[in-house]
A and B are shown apart, each in its own frame.
Chain A
Amino acid sequence: MRARVYRRIGLTAVLLGAALATGCDDAATTTSPTATSPVTELFSAQFIPGGSASRSFVAASAGTVSLTLSQLGPPTGLVVGFGIGIPQSNGSGCYLTQSVNTGAASSPQITAQVDAGSYCVRLYDLGTMTSATGFTVTIVRP
């Protein structure tokens, strides 16, 4: 009788272990749709005089990031600071690596080589804004 109970215990343990091990493996190897590199993201928002706006993005692999300030204003002809860097740990902006003073354009104002990891884009008022303004940044990343 006791031997039968132990055999049932053993069989149950083996089957359960196999089932759960499969569950663990599935969690570790879950596949998701493979994003085609490069990936394009849009960042649209508003910022106020004296202010700034930033957004983080992830480079899935090493490669080239290009940033285009594709829309800015009104007013037309506005020039702002536009840069790339790494995100601040408190989420409040970027540690900027490079920046340019620019208005809207149709080709990238910033191109940078990056390692895989998280980066950010930041726009900031150069002291010339008189009212809140909208913008769109096109981010192309690996």
Chain B
Amino acid sequence: MTARLLTVALLATLTVACGDDSPTSPTDTTTTTSSGTTVTYTGTLDVGGSRFYSFTNAAAGSVTAFLASVTATTDNRVPLAVPLQLGVGIPAGTDCATTTTQMVGPGLVSQLSVSLAAGVFCLRVADAGQLKAPVSFAVRFTHP
């Protein structure tokens, strides 16, 4: 009898262990896989402006990013070829103190790759003098 009870308890425990492999519900803009967390960071950028997004590296590893889209805020149907500055750094007050930056135009392959420790970092998108009017942007980046 005792053996039967313990068998049932063991079965329940091991079944839960298998269930832990189920994916968790991602947010609308974040996808987490075994190779890291992928975020689509979107926003608008004024002429001469900058925006940043803070994220936490769960472990040391590479952060990769590409500027996927730039469109006019008044018409998001037509992509613009305007370059923006992408950077990675450390949150500093109301800004992101970048340690690595790169001027990039829209593309669909990694344009910025940085090896970082575990901890809190930020991804910064900025106009470096190329914008004539506000734009909407989308950046896809992956971090550990």
CB atoms of B79 and A83 under 8 A apart: yes
Nearest to B138 among chain A residues (CB) is: A95
B3 cross-chain contacts in A, Cβ below 8 A: 5, 8-9, 12
Q: Is A35 engaged at the interface, CB distance under 8 Å to the other chain?
A: no
Complex CA distance for A94 and B136, rounded to whole angstroms: 13
Min distance, Cβ A44 to any Cβ of chain B, angstroms: 21
Chain B residues with a Cβ closer than 8 Å to the other chain, count? 33
Instruction: Choose one: B7, B64, B77; the contact of A96 (CB below 8 Å).
Output: B77
The answer to whether A85 and B68 touch across the interface, beta carbons within 8 angstroms, is yes
B15: chain A residues at CB < 8 Å are 20
List chain B residues, Cβ under 8 A from A90.
28
Please give, as numbers and ranges, the residues of chain B lying within 8 Å of A96 by CB-CB distance. 69, 71, 76-79
B108 touches A97 (CB 8 A): yes
Q: Mark B69-101, 1 if CB is under 8 A from A, else 0.
A: 101000011110100000000000000000000
B14 in contact with A20 (CB, 8 Å): yes
A117 CB within 8 Å of chain B: yes
With contacts defined as CB atoms under 8 Å apart, how many contacts are there between chain A and chain B in the complex? Answer: 97
Find chain A residues with CB under 8 A from B109 CB: 62, 113-115
Q: Give bound CA distance, A23 to B28, whole Å.
A: 32
A13 to B79, CA, bound (A): 61
Name the distance in Å between A5's Cβ and chain B's nearest Cβ: 6
Report how far A115 CA is from B15 CA in the complex, Å. Answer: 36
B143 at the interface (CB under 8 A from A): no
Q: How far is the CB of B30 from chain A (nearest CB, A)?
A: 9
Near A by CB (< 8 A), chain B positions 1-43 give: 2-3, 6-7, 10-11, 14-15, 17-18, 21, 28-29, 38, 40, 42
Q: Which chain B residue has the least Cβ–Cβ distance from A19? A: B14
Cα of A89 to Cα of B41 in the assembled complex, Å: 10
Complex formed: what's the CA distance from A114 to B66 in Å? 10
Assess whether A108 is interfacial by the CB under 8 Å rule: no
Q: Which residue of B lies closest to A125 (CB)?
A: B77
A21 to B81, CA, bound (A): 52
Q: Does B69 contact A13, Cβ atoms closer than 8 Å? A: no
Bound Cα distance from A23 to B15, whole angstroms:
10
A105: interface (CB < 8 Å)? no
Q: Beyond the given A23-B18, A89-B42, A94-B69, please list 10 additional residue pairs across the A-B interface where CB-CB is below 8 A.
A: A5-B3, A8-B3, A17-B14, A27-B18, A62-B109, A86-B108, A95-B40, A98-B79, A115-B108, A119-B108
The contact sample of 13 A-B pairs, CB cut-off 8 A, is A17-B14, A21-B14, A84-B108, A85-B69, A86-B68, A86-B69, A86-B108, A89-B28, A96-B77, A97-B68, A97-B108, A98-B106, A114-B109
